[in-house]
Amino acid sequence: MRLLPMFSSPLTAALVAVFFFFLAVLLQRRGLPSSSFLRPSSDPMAARTFILWLHGLGDSGPANEPIRTFFSAPEFKLSKWSFPSAPHSSVSCNYGAVMPSWFDIYEIPVTSESPKNESDVLKAVQNVHAIAAKEVDNGVNPENIFVCGFSQGGALTLASVLLYPRTLGGGAVFSGWVSLNSSIIERISPEAKKTPILWSHGMADRTVLFEAGQAGPPFLEQVGMSCEFKAYPNVGHSITTEELLHLQSWIKARLKSSS
């Protein structure tokens, strides 16, 4: 079988070759992966890992994108990241001010006893599940999907991985809290209970009290899950480089080799 049967003359073939050369150069310049254009989607180079980052109250997805620069290990070269922004909504603890918020919060500081609006959280969870399900449809192994989030995004991370119908690669909660009532426990599937959880919290946090974070492991124990709980002395309501580097090795240790 001839490679280029439709080209009648060598000149036509040469022109076509030149055209594709410039197309490849153009795609490269625009930062588009020319390889994904030229290869089928079953390409082993396609993203096998999906990392979703959920930001905190009043923040935005793009503002958090620099987080990925901490993930310099070669395993993350082909990871796909997503930094969605929360919808603008009225926030009770801020006197009804409208800002990017995944669900309503009634008081700051958040404590383990703060009131919750579970139905509001569950609406946000559905949006996270839709993002994850889309990646699964695209061929990503759910066990290579990692949901991570800070503060309100951390609380949403926990709720999302617990209520996802399948085992995920992991859920990483930074300075978050339990935003679900214990009545939700019966809705957590045996598959979801296998999802590993990493919980990190600064001990000097005055926005989401360390005590609210500490309520995480006992709640998970009630669910029948355990978690790795990391307490960071002298860290307030923020994420440190140390925490992100630990997240990198935590995810790396859980990556599955095949999709």
Query: Which residues make up the interface to ligand NAG (CB under 6 A)?
Result: 115-120, 123, 181, 183
Min separation Cβ 96 and ligand NAG, Å: 11
d(CA 147, CA 128): 9
User: Is-catalytic flag, 120?
Assistant: no
Contact present, 205 and 175 (Cβ < 8 Å):
yes
Min separation Cβ 29 and ligand NAG, Å: 45
Query: Among 101, 114, 151, 160, which one carries the catalytic annotation?
Result: 151
Closer CB to ligand NAG, 20 or 106, in the complex: 106
Scanning the structure block, which residue is given the tokens 């559905």?
A: 126
User: Is-catalytic flag, 205?
Assistant: yes
d(CA 166, CA 22): 44
Contact present, 151 and 175 (Cβ < 8 Å):
yes
Closer CB to ligand NAG, 187 or 194, in the complex: 187
Closer CB to ligand NAG, 137 or 186, in the complex: 186
Q: Residue 166's closest CA among 198, 121, 135?
A: 135
Min separation Cβ 92 and ligand NAG, Å: 7
DSSP 12-39: HHHHHHHHHHHHHHHHHHTT--HHHHHS
Min separation Cβ 116 and ligand NAG, Å: 4
Min separation Cβ 105 and ligand NAG, Å: 11
User: Is-catalytic flag, 85?
Assistant: no
Closer CB to ligand NAG, 82 or 92, in the complex: 92
Evaluate the omega torsion of the peptide bond into residue 109 and state whether it is cis, within 30 degrees of 0: yes
Scanning the structure block, which residue is given the tokens 């009532």?
A: 181
d(CA 256, CA 169): 8
d(CA 166, CA 194): 9
Closer CB to ligand NAG, 3 or 130, in the complex: 130
- Say how far residue 7 (Cα) sits from the centre of its chain: 48
Residues identified as active-site? 151, 205, 237
